[in-house]
Chains A and B, each alone.
Chain A
């Protein structure tokens, strides 16, 4: 749960200045449904050039709504020159701080204010305008923007394009068009998904096999032999032949043959491969100095 200040909660539960100013002098619209927050700010000036009234409409989380609400409070009574100096820090500070991950809400507030002032200064003509043909209607993404993300990030699939600029992430109706743009820019590379390097699918390499045999001996076989005062050592692996030496008590044990077949071989077959068979390295077992115990 986010740590919101009481002031923020107050502005969320009791937002001030909700709605739209009638016949506004400035209109600022930023954000989108895709981004998860959007703000429409409108204001009206009095005869002295001061902001007489400001209202907002916001889609977004609690902090987005609260920052919009305080923004309208903060700019009221200010001239345009004063209002333009409001920073996102000012908005956050006014609320007694915002969680770090929510600072973008204060940035959105500042952006909306800048957009509204720009709109006013250009005589209500300049809106947050989109350049080029809109391809994705859901999120208002233009062909220019899509081409740009494809070029700059070397994208090849529609999914990538959606991840980078959200285009195609709504109804999905423009996916065909995005594909065409991809083909135009990337040619044959469009739609290409990089394959992983070929490997020996499903086959044990010698290294893997030896590692598994060693691991099985360590984990499955040795503990059982140790319980009887014995031990085992992996000498070599030749094809499917596993050469081991029994040590300690096992080396002198009359049951060694049994141990080899019913314990060592059975475990290796269970954990590594059915093809394995075990051979005892009698020579090394007969050298007493080799014994570990």
Chain B
């Protein structure tokens, strides 16, 4: 059976070109870039090139790029590193819909005497900028707000937020893990101080991430040890990962416009067909300000995990905000923050596409879904037959 992969916000396929770049770095060019011999030293050039490619995609200086092991590390380093550099400020502002890599870190800070403000969102998943403005005070050390939401794809007006926050003398971090490669970015024109990204969300390998640190931003290092990454992140470089991420960024920069148009067209086709063919379905999140690849749809009175398993039977991969998929009793914190009723939150399904999806896959899924939804509705005590 063919796999139809609509779970690209979870992870993506590594691009063939990326893998080709990485291959020689395992058994042939395996040197350590810190070594004093040419065999190792030549690897340093490869890392420099990768750093340049990442910087090109982000529109920043290569010296502002720190390679890390994942998006979560970048988020941890940004938050904890910033707070360590300004110990006299004890307030952090974030949003209720952040990824756990940010939200869990912030909530843990409360155990250490920090005041953490979680901004709410409206029914479309949008932030209230005026509320943010009100919350910033002299005690605020950091504002950390995601670029695009992983569950709904809703994109926040980050440039505007960054301008507002840094204008008040506060450091601004954004978790842009879902946005990179999908939203064009130019950090040279933005006030963002810190930005996290992850390799495996844009057809790069797993186990590599980036923290962008704008020049002049005060941050204490998170990982201590050797002098790698100019002393800002110790640890021997994940050379294949870094080189692979560089290539992935190069491909993203080259193709972002064309691909997003194609991906958006497929996403819209899938979404419109599902909403039309399945009664009792609704779209979650701001339809306009949204990633081109993500669609989050709730099917009322049925449960997400059951839908996923039925889809899986046909080789269709998606994900759900239902409680049953996570092992917790609560459905998605993002949908709950948006005020999506329990009746719909439990039956939410996220489809996230990529450049590798085809029209044929979309048609196949459109054909299968209505029957799955009807089947589960027949089983549901809340739907009268």
Q: Name A's B-contacting residues (CB within 8 A).
A: 2, 9, 12-13, 15, 18-19, 29, 33-40, 57-65, 101-102, 138-139, 166, 169-172, 196, 199-205, 208-209, 211-212, 215, 219, 271
Contact = CB atoms under 8 A, between A and B. Distances in A.
Interface of B: 85, 87-91, 115, 137-140, 218, 220, 301-306, 309-310, 313, 322-325, 327, 329, 331, 336, 339, 341-343, 346, 378-382, 385
B370 to A, nearest CB: 17
Contacts of A60: 303, 306, 324
B139 A57 contact: no
B306 A33 contact: no
24 contacts: A12-B306, A13-B310, A33-B342, A33-B346, A36-B324, A36-B331, A37-B303, A57-B379, A57-B380, A60-B324, A61-B322, A61-B325, A64-B306, A64-B324, A166-B342, A169-B336, A202-B88, A202-B89, A202-B139, A202-B140, A204-B87, A205-B88, A208-B87, A209-B88
A271 B220 CA distance: 10
Contact of A62 (B137, B305, B336, B385): B305
Contact of A199 (B139, B303, B327): B139
Nearest to A163: B330
Contacts of B309: 9, 12, 62
Contact of A36 (B85, B91, B218, B346): B346
B313 A13 contact: yes
A217 to B, nearest CB: 14
A138 B341 contact: yes
A211 B84 CA distance: 11
A209 B88 CA distance: 8
A1 to B, nearest CB: 9
Contact of A33 (B115, B301, B339): B301
Contact of B381 (A12, A40, A102, A139): A40
Contacts of A63: 324
B341 A171 contact: yes
Contacts of B327: 101
Contact of A64 (B137, B303, B304): B303
A202 B218 CA distance: 16
Nearest to A202: B138
B247 to A, nearest CB: 30
B88 A196 contact: no
A59 B306 CA distance: 9
Given A35-B329, A64-B303, A211 B139 contact: no
A138 B342 contact: yes
- The 6 closest A-B CB pairs, nearest first, are A202-B138, A61-B324, A201-B139, A61-B305, A57-B381, A204-B88
Nearest to B382: A59
B342 A139 contact: yes
A40 B379 CA distance: 10
Contacts of A61: 303-306, 322, 324-325
A271 B207 CA distance: 32
Nearest to A69: B379
B343 A138 contact: yes
A172 B305 contact: no
A170 B343 contact: yes
B111 to A, nearest CB: 13
A151 to B, nearest CB: 23
A38 B382 contact: yes
Contacts of B139: 199, 201-202
A61 B321 CA distance: 12
Given A36-B303, A36-B324, A36-B346, A58 B137 contact: no
Nearest to A212: B87
A19 B385 CA distance: 9
A65 B88 contact: no
Given A33-B301, A57-B381, A201-B91, 8 more contacts: A36-B329, A57-B380, A59-B382, A61-B325, A64-B306, A200-B88, A201-B137, A201-B139
Contacts of A169: 336, 341-342
A67 to B, nearest CB: 12
